[in-house]
Structure 1
């Protein structure tokens, strides 16, 4: 079975650098792709000190759409957007004042990986946080999505004028260079043990000596919890904060009917429906996947009300399904509706869920081929961009320019 591996190492240039993230790439690159992935063969994509968040998003999105097992190795540093108080992976041009525009928002990992089949995605992370982000993580730990197995550590800031090393990720890479790929949880525990042994030796044999004068790392486990870094020792656990579900309710979005007119819609089966929906979409049964999502949307209306966050969630799922089905016009239209509904509910124009909906609508609009649909949805997108400009400068101007060119070509 083939797999996909994404190697991402990023840290700011200059004095703001906390960790030499790129130093781990040669060690990881020395591991065979199959061992990195834990599959028979694998395609490896490497991103070393990327400059633009959109470049990272493009590579992550391409990897996430593959039905094959996906393993992501992320090494770098976390900084906080001071306006929204959201953690970002700092990129080469990121500074404390520009992180909102030059960093990669961590919640984008959750958004891009959310439709993947449960059990098909593993993320290894070795991250160093600046002082502000370290304090934030005490009450708002990282969220990478319920369907993604996450392993790694988040370290506090190193001493001043010190650039830390990605010791956890190097331990993972060194273990994999043996040619043996144990289950992810065992690999994680072995890397922690190797890290602890090295630090114990560096402190003259004092177990846990690293914690003297410096706070201990937060360790990310498969269940998405932060725990004590020493395997086998008990520590204070912190649940990862759930996603942005539970925000202010929004006006209703009418889901497309998935049953015969005049007959009641069948109740969806109990349990998590996402795996079944994803499997149908990845097998090319796009109509079936959308029908399943529509039935869950109808159930959400009955159970939670037409203005519920659950209904918006299923609208977002159906927008993604339209994208996977190669119908950018339907996907764009649905994302426009989601963004408008969130705004009407009183959510801020720069709220992550609103910006995500606007950005995805814009992305899908750029893929529409039919000129009439481009014009129709472009006018709606321009209206939305006036309220939700997003993080990329010139988004509204981009829409208007394309509409002007279309008008000139088809007066």
Structure 2
């Protein structure tokens, strides 16, 4: 009724004070004006109360909804008996302060949660002091490049919406789920975020969409539906709002899951930071893809899909860190993707965390952060946990799977008991590239003796060495390793397999970064043969490689 009241006040005042009506402006005394305003306000209050007894909206609001939605909304409320039935259901569902006289103690001694559903009413009564969890799923604006969807937030939310809430939260407490898809108002998202943050139990916030930046202030925002480069300040969700609301919660009860794609304005800022602004009291896991990568269309993103698959396929619910690393290892992330948390953040956040089921603090995990026990090398009859080819530092994250009984028995080589990939990643990100490369090569030799030259496990370690060479700036070795890994995978996998395409993309990226003309000419033909064998790859990549190789042949060496 607010718009109706506003227009009614304007019409009455126009008729009283302007020349179109009584023309009382300048002639009415201040007390008369004040009395007129109070009388108008009181009359509108009574009229609104009378109108809303039988109508859900005011007349102007009803017309506005009809024009906006293109459909005729409901004009009148249900009849009086239906409304009274709903009110009686609410009163019956409300807990009584004291048991009625003569009632049985067993019935009123302990109130248990029960649901009431009548005339569309659905509610649940929770005992005092009982914990309650919350799952908040937020879909921002889709990331689109050259009319190709890179990240489809609506598809991601639809996939997560069918996962049981108990599995998402890793808790059996009663929980609520809120899905925000297609929201254009950041204040509405903030209101839902505050409601979720006020939950005393575990909280999961999932964010998917396009990450952008306010160019005037240089602050990161999550673009909502309809956000453009000029309307970021008014239609996007500021990233600092998330930190402010989640920072008030106790540590260990909040998890933020991200599947984002940064645009061209936000990516340089992320490269400068090296990460996203952290939330002190929340665990943050996810990926931020760089601009310009070829997306998968209106389908579930690779990281979210594998996150859900790992959650469903595991016999027991893994810890959040283990679930994240398994998803990163299985997803074919684009080259340069930002993996959260980074190695520095993992080292800084090590320590006991409260158990979501009991609220007590856990001791340090014996197997290193909630990973299932294993030797770090999957058996030969399982697919390898492929590291994200060409990904940014942090992509070669540790993934350990449980070894089957009897696997590898009789082999005369002692398997490594702890997964060496976290150690290798820590060495590479700290600048100790030579030590990381030597450790990776030693592990590759051990796996080679265990499984053979063409096994998926050896190919995985070749890709890890290629990524280490890229981090160290040795693009010649990285190109050779990525190309070899792509040819090996192509011999056992289909040309449209994500691992094959990712290996080819990593080889092409490292080859384009190769400044040595002779080395580029030497590695170019093998790379082009690999690209020609992939019909599903973007044909522009093959043309780019052919044009650069032809240009290198016709350009004299300046050395």
Q: TM-score, normalised by structure 1?
A: 0.50
RCO higher in structure (CA 8 A, sep ≥6): 1
